Amino acid sequence: MSKKITVLVLVCLFGIGVVITPALADSYKIGAVFAVTGRASFLGDPEKKTAVMVADQINKAGGIGGKKLELIVYDTEGDATKANLAVKKLINQDKVCAVIGPSLSGTSMAVVPLAAQYKTPLISVAASYKITWDDKANKARHWVFKTPQTDTMAVEAIYTHLKKRGINKIAIMSVTSGFGKSGHGELVRLAPQYGMNIVADEFYGPKDTDMTAQLTKVKGLAPKAIVNWSIGPTQVVILRNWKDLGMTSIPFYQSHGFGSRKNIELAAGAAEGVYTPLGAINVAEILPTSHVQKNVTMQFFNDYSARYKEPLSSFGGHSWDAMHMVIKALRAVGCNRTAIRDFLENNTAGFVGQHGVFNYSQKDHIGLDKDAFLMIVVKNGDWALAQ
Amino acid sequence: MEKITFASQLMQYLITGLTVGSIYAMVAIGFNIIYNVTEIINFAQGEFVMLGGLIMVFLHVAAGLPLLAAFPLTIILVTLAGMLLDRLAISPIRQPSVLTLIIATIGASIIIKGIAMFIWGKDPFDLPAFSGRNPIHLMGAVIQPQYLWVGGFLIIIVILLTFFFEKTIIGKAMSACAENPDAASLVGINVKHMILLSFSLSAAIGAVAGITITPISLMEYDRGAMLAIKGFGAVVLGGLGSFPGAILGGLILGTIESFGAGLIHSGYKDAFALIVLLAVLFIRPSGLLGSVEVSKFKRF
């Protein structure tokens, strides 16, 4: 009996499948994998919400060349295995035209080989340059692009600003997590190029309660600026310690991980005068109207806040950039994976996105440079453009 | 900015170390209270600290209760959480072995952390310092007023606990359970009640640690585990079960971390503490103030 029911149910399910498939054949499919839940949900959640919003907007405006845009999102939970399975499913079962995501550098590296294996364009929304650059072959990965800025660009933006102010004696501080280590590596690697003399190189744990000891040591070495690389509560605690120790005369530079107003609030006044490199979308409201990204960022800012009734997260901007570039490609060449890849590489130059103006090329699948970061200073408890 | 002298730097390392050490000591005392009565290591001890901080933020900042009302109310709520932990996770276990009980506390700590994440989310929260954020200057070093509150509360806890264990009947009954639970129940002490009391007490102390440290370091849902590890290190360093040992262990651990980070290398800050811990255990396996004779009678 129960066997019969199972068979019946299966037949029904297949039946429905057959009915549904032709109904959707008249659509372009974009696949997306984000860490919607789990420890990296602060990335994946706004990325998914943004992608869903963009797809709805496109469909409301008549779709792409008369066809509907169908967005299929899977949750990786920040897990490499799940990301790998999800991308395989998107490519082989869902037959998507292109894949956007994953959210993390680690999960992105886990799916990068699939893009080449199945010849499908993949646009990652994670940070590491290694996602698009093959160190061994010393060339860009053919099928892989990415939208976020890299640590390298943030370091370059900070060092350029320091150099402009005539500062070359600096202390660097970093958290001993993946984010801090990656930033630390770039800070040390690029220092000679910019003539930076690192007089102190201090570390702290991601759950440390106090960084007074490290800062006291830094104070004794009298650097002309401090560059700090961390995310989470430590980047706020360190600012309070910096202020308490009377070190505010030493300019303090935070990484791009500082880009949330919540951090200014948590610092309880200690963030005043702190510099940080941020993408245009973080500071949409204060951009001058002449800024090339003013219109796109304000539009996204208003749409997102109106739809989700929550403050915009700049991470959503990475999936906005990826979605719109893929849509642009779909409009031009339709659902042809090879043509989409070629279009992204050759025909998206000058694309104005949320995090910069993109210029992909055969050698560069990141498409941004240090100008994608604006130098921001905390003034009167809010962001302001730094001189 | 005036240049800082080496002496002031040393002073600053000491002050910072003692403050962080005081928190480790409070966590360590919490471990010891439960250990002495039940012989188990309560791995949810750090979660009490986290709950103390977050509930205080909720009552004081979000609900707007004055400090003096929110403080005791937070302690009461966390104490209730401690009692629930005993009633739901520890007490119902049939034929408890020390190992199963310890595993139960690990499970409980994961659940508490998960619940806290659901309630408060993943963002860190701030609590206004009790008496402002204007630092006090002493010999070129800087003391946040909150540092004094942390140290002060450690002293208050020590005085109250000493009084409780030395002068009150209940306190003595708890000590009796620690010495020999079978003999204690023969003379009419309800051991189950004493276990419940031990969980309440250490939850309350954890809450105080959480409340006093949140204005310095912020608090978020997953900070408990790290504090528990440091507190456990302090317990082992001082000697399992010894109250003066817990305090000494905590303060030494905090000071080593601070001096190690400042004078040698901040990247190996945690390693210095561990090296000292291992060295002490090599020379005195029972910890600084622990007794080998007593530890022979314990099951763990």
Which residues, including other chains, have CB under 8 Å from residue B134's CB and lie 6 or more apart? B145
pLDDT of residue B183: 87
Domain count, chain B: 1
Residue A5 — pLDDT band, cuts 50, 70, 90? low
pLDDT of residue B182: 83
- Are A241 and A378 within one domain? yes
DSSP letter (8 states) at residue A313? P
- Are A186 and A241 within one domain? yes
- The Cα A254–Cα A274 span in angstroms is 7
* Kind and range of the H or E run holding B213: helix B191-217
Q: Which of B126, B266, B272 has the most A C-beta neighbours within 10 Å, making it the best mutation to test the interface with A?
A: B266
* Partner residues linked to A203 by β-bridges: A174
Average pLDDT, integer, range A256-281: 90
CB A190 within 8 A of CB A168: no
Residue A8 — pLDDT band, cuts 50, 70, 90? low
Q: Per the domain annotation, does B1 fall within a domain?
A: no
pLDDT of residue A41: 84
Q: Cα A251 to the chain's mean position, in Å?
A: 27
User: What are residue A98's phi and psi, to 5 degrees?
Assistant: -155, 160
Reading the block at residue B155, the tokens are 């002293």
**Could you report the per-residue pLDDT of A279-314, keeping only the tens digit for each?**
999 999 999 999 999 999 999 999 999 999 988 888
Which residues, including other chains, have CB under 8 Å from residue B83's CB and lie 6 or more apart? B196, B199, B200, B203
For A94, counting Cβ atoms within 10 Å of its Cβ (0-12 exposed, 13-18 middle, 19+ buried), the class is middle
- The Cα B157–Cα B155 span in angstroms is 5
pLDDT of residue A19: 43
Q: Provide the angle, in degrees to the nearest 10, between the axes of the packed helices A294-308 and A316-333.
A: 110
3-state secondary structure A127-174: CCHHHCEECCCCEECCCEEECCCCHHHHHHHHHHHHHHCCCCEEEEEE
Asked if omega into A102 is within 30° of 0 (cis), the reply is: yes
Q: How many CB pairs under 8 A join A and B?
A: 104
Closest CB to A216: pick one of B19, B220, B262: B262
- The Cα A288–Cα A294 span in angstroms is 7
Q: Per the domain annotation, does A268 fall within a domain?
A: yes
Using 50 as the pLDDT threshold, list the residues of chain B that sit under it.
none
For A376, counting Cβ atoms within 10 Å of its Cβ (0-12 exposed, 13-18 middle, 19+ buried), the class is buried
Which residues, including other chains, have CB under 8 Å from residue A14's CB and lie 6 or more apart? none
- Are A121 and A219 within one domain? no
Q: Per the domain annotation, does A363 fall within a domain?
A: no
Closest CB to B126: pick one of A222, A244, A266: A266
Regarding pTM above 0.80, the answer is yes
Q: Per the domain annotation, does B132 fall within a domain?
A: yes
- Are A217 and A255 within one domain? yes
Q: Per the domain annotation, does B254 fall within a domain?
A: yes
Residue A16 pLDDT more than 60? no
Residue A12 pLDDT more than 70? no
Q: Per the domain annotation, does B189 fall within a domain?
A: yes
- Are A211 and A106 within one domain? no
- Are A182 and A224 within one domain? yes
Closest CB to B218: pick one of A176, A213, A233: A233
Domain count, chain A: 2
- The Cα A157–Cα A373 span in angstroms is 7
Q: Per the domain annotation, does A106 fall within a domain?
A: yes
CB contact under 8 A, B261 and A207: no
- The Cα B237–Cα B272 span in angstroms is 13
Q: Which residue has the tokens 């935070």?
A: A254
**Could you report the per-residue pLDDT of B174-230, keeping only the tens digit for each?**
888 877 878 888 988 888 899 999 999 999 999 999 999 999 999 999 899 889 999
CB contact under 8 A, A214 and B262: yes
CATH number at residue A171: 3.40.50.2300
- Are A34 and A134 within one domain? yes
- Are A133 and A35 within one domain? yes
pLDDT of residue B140: 82
CB contact under 8 A, A233 and B16: no
Closest Cα to residue A376, out of A275, A293, A300, A294?
A275
CB A226 within 8 A of CB A250: yes
pLDDT of residue A192: 95
Residue A22 pLDDT more than 60? no
Chain B positions touching A218 (Cβ under 8 A) are none
Q: Per the domain annotation, does A297 fall within a domain?
A: no
| CA-based nearest residue in chain B for residue A216 | B9
Sign of the CA dihedral with A50 first, then A52, A54, and A56 last: negative
- The Cα A81–Cα B272 span in angstroms is 37
What is this model's ipTM? Answer: 0.85
- The Cα B38–Cα B199 span in angstroms is 10
Q: Per the domain annotation, does B23 fall within a domain?
A: yes
- Are A159 and A259 within one domain? yes
Residue type, B60: H
Q: Per the domain annotation, does B200 fall within a domain?
A: yes
CB contact under 8 A, A244 and B135: yes
DSSP letter (8 states) at residue A232? T
Average pLDDT, integer, range A29-41: 90
- Residue A189 sits in which domain range? 151-278+372-385
Closest Cα to residue B49, out of B197, B175, B194, B230?
B230
Closest Cα to residue A46, out of A325, A285, A324, A317?
A317
Chain A positions touching B144 (Cβ under 8 A) are 244
Q: Per the domain annotation, does B173 fall within a domain?
A: yes
- Are A381 and A258 within one domain? yes
**Could you report the per-residue pLDDT of A77-124, keeping only the tens digit for each?**
989 999 999 999 999 999 999 999 899 988 999 999 999 999 999 999
CATH number at residue B74: 1.10.3470
Q: Per the domain annotation, does A235 fall within a domain?
A: yes
Burial A3-16 (b: 16+ CB within 10 A, else e): eeeeeeeeeeeeee
- The Cα A186–Cα A201 span in angstroms is 13
Chain A positions touching B217 (Cβ under 8 A) are 208-210, 233, 237
Q: Per the domain annotation, does A163 fall within a domain?
A: yes
- Are A121 and A176 within one domain? no
Closest CB to B142: pick one of A204, A205, A244: A244
Closest Cα to residue A227, out of A158, A281, A160?
A158
CA distance A211 to chain B (A): 9
- Residue B194 sits in which domain range? 6-297
Residue A65 pLDDT more than 90? no
Query: Strand pairing of A382-385 and A374-379?
Result: antiparallel
- Are A141 and A162 within one domain? no
